[in-house]
Amino acid sequence: MDIISTTHTDIEYADSLALQQQAFDLGVEAKKEGKSVQHRLFFNEHRPVITLGRHAKESNVLFSEAFLAQQGVSLFHISRGGDATYHGPGQWTIYPVFDLEELGMGVREFVESLEEVAIRILAMYGLQGHRLPGASGVWMHVDSPMPRKVAAIGIHCSRYITMHGMAFNVNTDPQAFHWINPCGFTDKGVTSLHLEVGHELSMETLRDRFEEVFSEVFGRKIIKY
């Protein structure tokens, strides 16, 4: 089954979640009926938002919801794993709605595959991404006193259908993460591809490269929609 890729920029999180939820619900319903599930890949560049996973600690959001709203930052409690994270301009938040059973992989392999996508993207720019034990996502500067995350990962899965996914900092200003303890950590930081290469990058070019790498890692053709 091919993967249909859709891009939304300057999108409110509620609208993004509704699109993703619709695709997820259709996938779950198809599985119940023994039908094939259409793989979907959503590339979203959100308006500023903080999301909290199922087991997130409220204390990792450092400001009140009312104050955040005044700053133009919305707050959502969602079904993915992981703690608090930020999405906003300059970041590709990538949501695969995939049927893992059709892909022949389990949840752990799926998460590792998402990490592999981010690691290969970094390698295209001569950079090395790392996994850290006990900390999902892709990290840089792991030998320094303050490892820095460039890609955060948090998913939800039901009947082998996935939703949520990966947030990759392209041109994201790490200062945007000052609203939270990113992913619940106080001893680790955040970086972006922009900071690592020393110049701003084309979001469209990064999306196209992500599509290429997703196709390689998951062995499926990408169709833009």
Annotated binding site for substrate: 80-87, 152-154, 165-167
Dihedral of CA atoms 88, 196, 120, 107 in degrees, nearest 10, equals: -50
Residue positions forming the annotated binding site: 80-87, 152-154, 165-167
Q: How far apart are CA 70 and CA 46, in angstroms?
A: 17
Give, in order, the Cα–Cα distances in Å from 116 to each of 23, 72, 133, 138, 201: 24, 33, 15, 9, 21
Active site residue 157: no
Marked catalytic residue, from 68, 111, 183, 213: 183
For residue 57, what are its two tokens? Answer: 């600690």
Rounded to 5°, the CA angle 25-27-31 comes to 115
Q: Are residues 3 and 40 in contact, defined by beta-carbon separation less than 8 angstroms? A: yes
Residues involved in catalysis: 183
